[in-house]
Every structure is written in structure tokens, then in C-alpha cells.
Amino acid sequence: LDPRLVSARASALGGQLTLLIIRDVTEQERLDQVRRDFVANTSHELKTPVGAVSLLAEAIESAADDPAQVRIFASRISAEAARLGQLTGRIMSLSRLQAADGITDFDTVAIDEVIASSIEGHTVQADSAGVGLARGGDRGAYVRGDAQILIEAVGNLIANAIVYSPKGSRVGVGVKVDAATVEIAVSDQGIGIADADRDRIFERFYRADEARSRRTGGTGLGLSIVKHATQRHGGEVRVWSRPGRGSTFTIVLPRLDVPVPETARKIKKT
Ligand code: ADP
């Protein structure tokens, strides 16, 4: 054994180790920064409705002898409370998705049921926006996952598609099943997304059009939830968009090959 070779190997290993440690520290710093930004953004987002509620409560106190005014302020308090509820709900979804636990709850999930529930949950929103909502494509696919998380993810895409679409347009939810994957595509004929925003819309609290998103009740968290939910299932989200033409968001999941039960096979044969 050549001692020079041993020492050269040892120093190369040492170099690799130092590099690994540096990489680890940098990653840790990045994660810390992400966490600090999240806390700062969350506090900022929560402050607005909380501030509005306390101002409106003061206004009610001083307008106590004017029932019409009181009713207006009270309904605005309800709206702000609803927004607070939506925000905290989304923040909780996101932190649950980012936590390390939960994977053990995975089960066999029928994509048809996920699509049916997500559409059903948004028919009222579609109707009141005057947007048509329809399902198309393949049926009968299964994935391994958490049905509630998938329903929330597809639901967020449908909600966005409706919000960013003009009255009279259509939103389609299509499924494409391949040997190894299931694709769920939500397409709209809405305002579309500029190239510069396309890579950033999945970031927490990022909105391509801040004012519009707030006006329409957006939190800037919907797509972040979609991304984390999909990653949790070993999948990915793709986006196609043309400003003024529309957008298509596609969730791609690994397909679960569910064997046809023995009894079903027997019935089929006869
Ligand atoms: P928000 O609650 O603001 O909709 P999201 O995280 O769901 O937050 O989306 C981030 C941003 O991406 C939105 O503010 C909007 O600018 C843009 N966006 C998302 N979906 C669509 C869509 N279907 N059409 C056009 N823009 C979209």
C-alpha cells in the first residue's frame, strides 16, 4: 500500500466532505430564509383582515343608532371573517403538506371520484361566474394517495380557472390515462399568464396581478398547495399558458395498476 496514495485519497475525501458540509449549511440557510419569509408574509396577510375587522367594529359602535349602517358594517365584518377563515385554512393545508407525516394515510384513490368531487364543489362558483364547467377524457384510473388532498388540489385549479376567466367561457377538466401515469388537466379560456410570471406563480403568496387576485378573493397560496400536494404523490404540475388565450394546468401522477377483482373477472367472462 503506497502511503502517498492513501494520503491523497484521504485529502480528496476530506475535500468532498467539506463540500458536502458547505452545501448542507447553504441549504439549511435557504430553508431558514424560506421559513422566515413565510412567517413574515403570513403575518402581513393576516394583518389586513384583522385590521379591517377592528375598524369595522369601531364603526358599528359609533353608528349604533343607524340600523342600516350597522347592517352594512356587519356584513363587511362577515366578509372579512370569511377571508380570514380561507387564509388560515390554506395556511394549515400548506403546513400539513410540508410536514413529514401523513404519507402513511395513503390509500387506493379512484380518480373519477376525485374529479367528480372537485367539480361538484365548484358548480355554484361556476354558475355565479357564468362559466361552463365540464369533464371529459378517460375513466377508470387509480392512484395511490390521499383523496382529500387530491380533491383540494384539483379544486384549487378549477377555482382559479373560473376566477381568471370571462363570463360565457368554458372550463374543462380532462383526464388522460397512460400505462404509467394519470394526467388531470384543467383548461380555461381566460386571461392567461405572462412568461415572466409562469415560473413564479407556484411560490407562496406570489400573485401575477396582486390587485386583481385580492379583489377576487385570492390568497396567493392555491398553486403552492397544488404543487406540494402533487409532489407528495410523486407527481408534478405542468402549466401551459398564453396571455389573452387561456391556461392549462396539468397534474401528472403515477398510475396505480389496480387488478380487476376475481369476481368481476368471472362476471365479465359469462
Ligand atoms: P390566488 O389565490 O391569488 O389565485 P394562486 O397561488 O392560486 O393564488 O395563483 C397564483 C397566481 O397565478 C394568481 O394570483 C394569478 O395571477 C395566477 N393564476 C393562477 N391560475 C390562473 C389561471 N387559471 N389563469 C390566469 N392566471 C392564473
Q: Summarize pLDDT for 51-71 with one digit per residue, the tens.
A: 999 999 999 999 989 999 999
Global confidence as pTM: 0.82
Report the pLDDT value the prediction gives residue 270, as an integer from 0 to 100: 46
User: 206 C-alpha vs ligand 1 centroid, how far in Å?
Assistant: 8
Is residue 246 in contact with ligand 1, taking CB distance under 6 Å? no
Residue 93 near ligand 1, beta carbon < 6 Å: no
- Output the pLDDT for position 15: 76
Name the residue of 163, 223, 226, 228 to mutate for ligand 1: max ligand atoms within 8 A of Cβ. Answer: 223
Q: Ligand 1: does its nearest atom lie under 6 Å from the Cβ of 87?
A: no
Residue nearest atom 12 in ligand 1 by C-alpha distance = 201
For residue 119, is pLDDT > 50?
A: yes
Please tell me the predicted confidence (pLDDT) of residue 259. Answer: 64
| Range of 1-10, 11-20, 148-157, 255-264 with top mean pLDDT | 148-157
Whether 224 lines ligand 1, by a CB cut-off of 6 Å, is yes
Complex ipTM over 0.90: yes
- Would the pLDDT of 11 be above 90? no
Average pLDDT over residues 143-172: 97
How far, in Å, from the CA of 17 to the mean position of ligand 1? 42
From the CB of 162, is ligand 1 less than 6 Å away? no
Tell me the pLDDT of the chain averaged across its residues.
Answer: 89
User: Ligand 1 pocket, 237 CB below 6 A?
Assistant: no
Flag whether pLDDT at 2 surpasses 80. Answer: no
Mean pLDDT calculated for residue range 134-163: 96
> CB of 106 within 8 A of CB of 148?
no
